[in-house]
Amino acid sequence: MSGRSRKLIERLLNPNLQSRTIGIERTQERVVVPEVIDQCRGLLDKIARRAVRVQYEPGAQMPVAVTREALERILVNLTKNAAEASGREAPVLLRVSCLRDNSKAAANSERIVLTVEDKGCGMSVGALKVLMAAKQAAPAGPRGIGFRVVRELVSASGGQLRLKSDSGSGTSVEIAWAVAAEVEQGVFEEQRQLKLIGRNASLGRLSC
């Protein structure tokens, strides 16, 4: 059992697998994010070396058009990064929520948002810019490589990625996917490009 778990972790963290998965722009597979998290809960606890906290908000059970393997790799890489950025006793939180945009332009669209939060030391503005820059190489070290894989998997699955970090307070990664029915209609296609917004740079804060 231990050997199989180790091989599974190595496979999900392996950046060399990205070309096979990321090359798929759309998928017919539908997953419910909380269900995948529940099935991976033991693995995520093992990676984080602590009990990962999970929170599901109303509406989180709606499906999204993402492959199970892509979502598993996203969860594993983000959980590993959050655990490494935190003290051994600091919590790692996975939260799944549903956002509804009732404006006329959005046509009552809904998105499922996966958030991974840590209470570590946060990151500098420069480090955040490098992580979010798709045309730049990932920083040296496993955390940079892992985030590059996450960034490309999110882009390939039609998701929207946001990264927030407050110096000394921790980091929050948010990934939003349109619910499956809206993906089929092409809603949120324009949101696939990553956006970077500087905020209070002098305080070491950045929102992407």
What average pLDDT does range 111-140 have in this prediction? 77
Contact 192, 201 (CB under 8 A): no
The angle at the Cα of 40, spanning 35 to 45, to the nearest 5 degrees, equals 130
Centre a 10 Å sphere on the Cβ of residue 98 and count the other Cβ atoms it contains: 16
Centre a 10 Å sphere on the Cβ of residue 97 and count the other Cβ atoms it contains: 18
**CA end-to-end span of the chain:** 39
Q: Dump pLDDT digits (tens) for 28-73.
A: 789 999 999 999 999 999 999 999 999 999 999 999 999 999 999 9
Q: Flag the least confident range among 99-113, 116-130, 158-172.
A: 99-113
The pTM score is 0.73
Distance CA 98, CA 32 (A): 12
Higher pLDDT, 183 or 8: 8
- pLDDT > 90 fraction of the chain, expressed in percent and rounded: 46
Q: Flag the least confident range among 77-86, 148-157, 161-170.
A: 161-170
C-alpha 164: how far from chain center: 12
pLDDT band at 9; cut points 50, 70, 90: low
Phi, psi of 39 (to 5 degrees): -70, -25
83's tokens: 């655990």
The helix or strand, by DSSP H or E, that contains position 153, with its residue range, turns out to be: helix 142-156
Domain boundary assignment for the chain: 2-207
| Homologous superfamily, domain 2-207 | Histidine kinase-like ATPase, C-terminal domain (3.30.565.10)
